[in-house]
Amino acid sequence: MNYVQRQQEIERLETAFWQSMVDGKAKIATGMLTEPALMVSGHGTMAFDHAGYEKMAADDRHRLTGYRFGKFDVLFPTDDVAVASYAVTQDMESDGKAMKQQAFDSSTWVRFGDDWKCVAHTESLQAPPPA
């Protein structure tokens, strides 16, 4: 598989993971995560197992309703490690109110045999333009 095909494979995995959040299918997402996995966001840092992810995903107070990726890059430090970084526009509902959020995300994927698993994900909200 050439470099472009490998990049496309990682982008397909990220897309499938995000779509599982929109569709409310946590089992699809946990099948793509290591156990434990790590996350860093504006809410802090956390390590979680599959049950912990499913509990987070089931919280209807905050849910993803749509997303659009912007610039998407993937680096392969080794054949079995991929680091994806991208811009994302997130459509969400928070406590029943629609909102839109711009962020920059990064995911680290590791290949175990024929399967890629996400071991860590980070998210930084886009800063508002200077006044």
- Contact between 50 and 33 under an 8 Å Cβ cutoff? The reply is yes
pLDDT at 111: 97
pLDDT at 131: 76
pLDDT at 81: 98
| Alpha-carbon span 102 to 107, nearest angstrom | 16
Per-residue pLDDT of the chain (131 residues; tens, 9 = 90+): 898 999 999 999 999 999 999 999 999 999 999 999 999 998 899 999 999 999 988 888 889 999 999 999 999 999 999 999 999 999 999 888 999 999 999 999 999 999 999 999 999 999 887 87
Spatial CB neighbours of 84, under 8 Å, sequence gap ≥ 6: 10, 11, 14, 72, 73, 74, 106, 107, 108, 109
pLDDT at 43: 84
Strand residue runs (E) in the chain = 33-41, 44-48, 62-78, 81-94, 97-112, 115-125
pLDDT at 129: 76
Domains in the chain: ranges and CATH: 3-125 (3.10.450.50)
pLDDT at 46: 93
